[in-house]
Structure 1
Amino acid sequence: MENATKPEAGAGPGTKPAIELVEQDGEVTLSIGGEQAMQAWERDLMWAGADMLCEYGRDFYEVGLGLGLSALRIATNPATRSHRVLELFDEVEELFRERHPELPDTLSIERGDFFQRIFELPSQSVDGIFFDPALDMEVWKDEALWRRTMPEVVRVLRPGGVFIPFFSTKPELRWQYLPHFREIRVVRHPYTAYDTTEYTHGTSGDAYIQCFVKS
């Protein structure tokens, strides 16, 4: 059964999953804990979300480096002054830097756990947050965790700033974020995944980018 969210990959605090970049039959997959965390076919959707983010300011924060598709897109946007990326795993950054040894001056990568770091970020310090971490399904289902965390996300955003999570292939607003924003922008994009992709609702169709705006 296909997942309603992207994906069950990743790990909870204190664990160390196996991380590798799998390139086979023209497909590129970042594997974390034996699960598909991200694949290269996502590029156009990640770019669309990144471009949307950059409409709302010039200082940005991203959670989850992955293949770096959105990180590089945001950092090289002419509007961007600064883009910080929070990544939990050393190996993910190492794989990224092997493929991209020279990074834009606007881009910096830091290590940490989002559910701790968000409480440390200054209030009204960024114009947008792009959210694409690999998390266990137990984390996605932890209602108390999201009730504690999302008010901090709103606090960190400047007025008019946005929170953009990774795309969904199911046309429904995510309950984790919905109670904390009054304005939500949704844009539909077609997509075609790999035949081997496990974390989408089918391997082609429509994907939805959800942009939550701080009033």
Structure 2
Amino acid sequence: MTLSIGGEQAMQAWERDLMWASADLLCQHGHDFYEVGLGLGLSALRIARNPATRSHTVLELFDEVEELFRARHPELPGNLTIERGDFFQRIAELPSESIDGMFFDPALDMEVWKDADLWARTMPEVVRVLRPGGVFIPFFSTKPELRWQYLPHFRTIRVHRHAYTAYDTTEYTYGTSGDAYIQCFQKD
């Protein structure tokens, strides 16, 4: 299964094991979690169903993504809330030290990823909402590079390597098999 947004591949079902590994890592760091980007809901359901999870809020920008998810999953865990909105606006509204971890996997345009000023404003807000010891886990990478957007804002970073095999039609990875890297940025 492939999720497309604006005619471009956003996520595919082969990512399940990587999303679950990211979700399981997140759940080792507390009880209250926030996720940016619903996608196919693989990580959202994994986080919400973890026995450690007290609350899990997912923020999604696109109507069609939430509609697809709700059609496939009409019964949601009681601790899972899905909200609509733009992360770059919402982050400033979240209370300080209110979550134990954030999983970050939104569909963003390339211009957004390259906007250094935007990330310089946004990441201090992410750190602000994390409790001490809380973690920020962005979606996996198929390149062994720490993401420059997040790197200056954390002192402790762990990287977990996992093998992956994508579909032959996958367009958003560097190759269709190899190693993927899950980066875990921890607030001191």
If the TM-score is normalised by the length of the shorter chain, which range does it land in? Answer: over 0.9
> 3-state SS of the aligned residue for 2:44?
helix
Q: Report the secondary structure of 1:172's partner residue.
A: coil
More helix by share: 2
CA distance in 2, matches of 1:93, 1:167: 22
| Letter matched to residue 134 of structure 1 | A
Aligned residue pairs total: 188
Q: Tell me, what secondary structure is at the counterpart of 2:75?
A: coil
Aligned to 1:154: 127
Cα distance in 1, alignment partners of residues 68 and 174 from structure 2: 28
3-state SS of paired residue (2:92): coil
Q: What is the Cα deviation at residue 89 of structure 1?
A: 1.1
Normalization by structure 2: what TM-score? Answer: 1.00
2:83 is aligned with 1:110: yes
The 5-angstrom pairing of residues 52-71 of structure 1 reads 52-71=25-44
| Structure 1 residues without counterparts, runs of 5 or longer | 1-27
Displacement after TM superposition at 1:108 (Å): 0.4
1:140 aligned partner: 113
Letter matched to residue 88 of structure 1: L
Hey, what does 2:185 align to over in structure 1? 212
What TM-score do you get using the length of structure 1 for normalisation? Answer: 0.87
Partner of 2:56: 83
One-letter code of the match for 1:136? Answer: D
**Which residue of the partner structure matches residue 6 of structure 2?**
33
1:129 alignment partner in structure 2: 102
User: Cα offset for 1:90?
Assistant: 1.5
| Counterpart Cα distance in 2 of 1:91 and 1:194 | 23
Deviating beyond 3 angstroms after TM superposition, the runs of 4 or more aligned structure 1 residues are: none
Percent identity for Structure 1 against Structure 2: 87
In structure 2, the gaps of 5 or more residues are: none
Partners in 1 of 2:63 and 2:6 — Cα distance? 14
Partner of 2:45: 72
Distance in 1 (CA, whole Å) between partners of 2:51 and 2:173 is 32
CA distance in 1, matches of 2:4, 2:171: 12
Taking the aligned partners of 1:52 and 1:63, their CA distance within structure 2 comes to: 16
